[in-house]
């Protein structure tokens, strides 16, 4: 298969981490994922006025906010005064002690501890009822609602990364490209924004975090997505079986998504 990686999906921002278009990949039956419809990012609490204009210009009609109630309360998103997108969010918590909150017990955050902590996040995610609910609503909204969408969590890399990866799989994107898109988070030119937003809270809990540990916490590794894939495949036999049985993505919904999002 000839892979095609979109040249530069990142959209310049001043206070939003990892805002990018995750379309443009080669997909099923010689088609390609549309660009200008599928966006992903971190949270928008520090969005500048210019960022809000940028978001408005993207004509996003649906926002899927994968954060839990406490995250949305502690880090409320700024919105443009003309904001009128439909927001989908979960009434409750969606993640147990996310890394930016500094939870999970008082430990020295070594690179190995950081890696283990992130692998635990991806091991739990396939069976997390809140994430099953939100991913189900994510797919339903993309199949039923017109216009562009934006999916985000706090850092825009773990919960958001899996959401984007599952959708690209449904659209027939080759696994190598799905993984490549997941890993593009590490190329985001806004890492300083994420560090500014979360590092003080993390260091208040863990103390000084060495650079390799910080990369494991604030970036993504191939084994993160592979852990999620392996958990799903072990329990359901395949990604497609999990999508159909747990997330409501049957053949009818899959066809609808491909009709809407492929060109």
Cα–Cα distance, 5 to 151 (Å, whole number): 20
Q: Where do the domains of the chain lie?
A: 20-96+109-261
Contact at 8 Å (CB) between 17 and 41? yes
Closest to 74 (Cα-Cα) out of 50, 52, 49, 95:
95
Sign, CA dihedral 166-177-65-140, equals negative
Which tokens is 186 given? 């590490």
Which tokens is 94 given? 């969606």
Instruction: Give the pLDDT of residue 153.
Output: 98
Instruction: Give the pLDDT of residue 1.
Output: 46
Closest to 21 (Cα-Cα) out of 148, 143, 146:
148
Q: Across-strand partners of 127?
A: none
Q: What's the gap between Cα 237 and its chain centre?
A: 24
pLDDT tens string, the chain, 263 residues long: the values are: 445 666 789 999 999 999 999 999 999 889 999 999 999 999 999 999 999 999 999 999 999 999 999 999 999 999 999 999 999 999 999 987 666 555 555 678 999 999 999 999 999 999 999 999 999 999 999 999 999 999 999 999 999 999 999 999 999 999 999 999 999 999 999 999 999 999 998 888 888 899 999 999 999 999 999 999 999 999 999 999 999 999 999 999 999 999 999 99
Cα–Cα distance, 263 to 259 (Å, whole number): 8
CA angle 41, 46, 51 (to 5 degrees): 65
For 176-179, the CB contacts below 8 A with 24+ separation are 176/1, 176/3, 177/3, 177/4, 177/5, 177/25, 177/26, 178/225, 179/222, 179/225
Contact at 8 Å (CB) between 182 and 164? yes
Instruction: Give the pLDDT of residue 7.
Output: 76
Which tokens is 104 given? 């999970």
Instruction: Give the pLDDT of residue 29.
Output: 87
Which tokens is 2 given? 């000839």
Instruction: Give the pLDDT of residue 2.
Output: 45
Contact at 8 Å (CB) between 181 and 6? no
Instruction: Give the pLDDT of residue 172.
Output: 97
For 252-257, the CB contacts below 8 A with 24+ separation are 253/139, 253/140, 253/143, 254/170, 256/143, 257/139, 257/142, 257/143, 257/167, 257/170, 257/171
- Fold (topology level) of 20-96+109-261: 3.90.190
3-state secondary structure of 33: strand
**pTM of the entire structure?**
0.95
Instruction: Give the pLDDT of residue 201.
Output: 87
Q: Which residues of 20-55 are buried (b: 16+ CB within 10 A; e: fewer)?
A: bbbbbbbbeeeebbbeebbbbbbbbbbbeeebbebb
């Amino acid at each position: 298969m000839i892979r095609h990686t979109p040249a530069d999906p990142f959209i310049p921002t001043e206070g939003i981490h990892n805002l990018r278009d995750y379309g443009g990949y080669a997909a099923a039956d010689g088609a390609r994922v549309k660009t200008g419809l599928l966006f992903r990012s971190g949270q928008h609490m520090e969005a500048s006025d210019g960022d809000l204009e940028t978001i408005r210009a993207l004509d996003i009609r649906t926002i899927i906010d994968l954060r839990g109630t406490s995250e949305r309360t502690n880090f409320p998103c700024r919105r443009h005064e003309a904001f009128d997108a439909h927001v989908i969010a979960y009434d409750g918590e969606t993640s147990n002690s996310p890394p930016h909150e500094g939870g999970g017990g008082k430990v020295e955050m070594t690179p190995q501890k950081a890696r283990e902590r992130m692998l635990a996040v991806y091991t739990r995610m396939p069976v997390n009822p809140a994430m099953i609910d939100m991913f189900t609503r994510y797919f339903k909204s993309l199949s039923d609602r017109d216009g562009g969408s934006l999916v985000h969590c706090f850092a825009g890399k773990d919960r958001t990364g899996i959401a984007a990866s599952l959708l690209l799989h449904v659209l027939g994107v080759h696994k190598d490209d799905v993984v490549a898109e997941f890993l593009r988070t590490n190329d985001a030119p806004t890492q300083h924004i994420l560090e500014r937003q979360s590092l003080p809270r993390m260091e208040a809990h863990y103390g000084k975090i060495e650079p390799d540990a910080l990369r494991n916490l604030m970036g993504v590794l191939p084994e993160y997505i592979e852990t999620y894939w392996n958990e799903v495949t072990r329990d359901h036999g395949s990604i497609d079986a999990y999508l159909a049985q747990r997330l409501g993505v049957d053949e009818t919904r899959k066809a609808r998504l491909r009709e809407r999002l492929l060109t």
